[in-house]
Amino acid sequence: MNLLYLIIFFILGAFLGGFYSTLGKRLAEEKYHFFPYHCDYCYHRLSFLESIPIVSYFLLKGRCLKCHRKIDTMEIMMEFFTGILFSVSFYSFHFSYQLLIALGIVSLLIIVTVSDLNYMIIPDEVLIFFVLYFILIQFLGAGIFSAFQHILYGIFLFLLMYFIMFVSEKAFQKESLGGGDVKMMFLFGLVLDPLLGTVAIFLGSIFALPMSLFLLYKNNEKAIPFGPFLLLALAFLYFTKITPEMLVSWFGF
């Protein structure tokens, strides 16, 4: 039965991954029509068979049926990884309110990865939706006190990230963090406690370092999208179920 659920969650994630990819692009471009799906080049309206995640890419040989332009490989990657991460979410948390939080983290990760990598933008609409989503899940799953507590955590992490941005800009005399990265830290508080949220900032920086060095070497590019790496750190901490007590025992905070 667990295998069946894993397959179901993979299929659900793959379908949503395609939608999230479209959502991330169009919100960043301030285009608010998401259905029906169409080719980004010739605007050919995709049929149901052309919209089947992963499978349609191979059936169409990676090209639009009408204009024959190559389909962005990021789309199939987002479909595949969303499917995998949805299955991992179910495997880790089964049917619980933590599962809903995990699915929310995965969804946010995919949308922000698409928008931030392509446009260096984290749309406010996405952040507002997930703020409301996580508060609702905390309220329904853990009670009003937990929801209020996590709102306070979110305020703390937002202020901490704002302080880091302020100090960095004063020190280097240039923009160091995007406003979306700062605002997104409020979301982290709705999922993590302040210690883990602070660790997520540090961990996200470590995850971003290899890409930063590569782009600096390859293109002399110094600006990279930080949002996806922060969310990778959030997902890592949440899925591994690391607790503040574990960190204290490991590092003697």
Q: Quick one: pLDDT at residue 74?
A: 81
Average pLDDT score over residue span 112-118? 90
Domain boundaries, the chain: 1-93, 96-253
Average pLDDT score over residue span 34-58? 68
Which residues fall within 8 angstroms of residue 216, CB to CB, at 6 or more apart? 222
Q: Quick one: pLDDT at residue 67?
A: 77
Reduce the DSSP state of residue 70 to 3 states and report it.
strand
- Residue 39, pLDDT > 80, answer no
Task: Report the b/e string of 117-155 with b at 16+ CB within 10 A.
Answer: ebeebbbeebbeebbebbbebbbeeeeeeebeebbebbe
Q: Quick one: pLDDT at residue 47?
A: 67
- Residue 152, pLDDT > 80, answer yes
Average pLDDT score over residue span 105-126? 92
* DSSP designation for 189: H
On whether the pTM is more than 0.85, the answer is yes
- Residue 162, pLDDT > 80, answer yes
- Residue 253, pLDDT > 60, answer no
